[in-house]
Amino acid sequence: MSDELTLLAEAGAAAVVAAMATDLWQATRDGVLGLFRRDAPDSAAPVGARLDEGAALVRTSAAPDDVRRALAGTWARELHELLRRDPACRVPLARLTAEVDGAFASGRAAVVLEQNNTARDSGTVFAVQHGDIHTTCGAGGATRQDPDDGPQ
């Protein structure tokens, strides 16, 4: 039975971290919190905080898949402990895992890209997400060229 719990915990952890920074995140987060609430109602706040911290790391990382791999081990241990304490969580965890996996397999899941850039006073922001931006400063000031725009 321990092997079954380990496999389910690992699959659940993989689904949880895969959903981070996607449009599946809120429902997945709520599902995980529901599992922990069943076991210990007071555990929801700290578990929620750890989930949110992980999702923020994924969302802001230049290498989100590396962050997901690192978080997967932590969540596999958390979920394994939960399943050991409350074996009745197996069915809802398996269901949540299947829902997340199914959404990715069908292409219904999309990555949520979030970026905030602020310029104050006389500042200028040159920002790009998941790409390159090239700037040059000459006598006339800065010019911007996006890779898709061609020469300026």
Residues 36-94 pLDDT 10s: 999 888 888 999 999 999 999 999 999 999 999 999 999 999 999 999 999 999 999 99
- H-type alpha helices, the chain: 2-19, 25-39, 44-60, 64-85, 90-105
- Per residue in 131-145, pLDDT (tens digit) is 444 445 555 555 555
104-119 tens-digit pLDDT? 888 765 544 444 556 6
Mean pLDDT of 1-18: 90
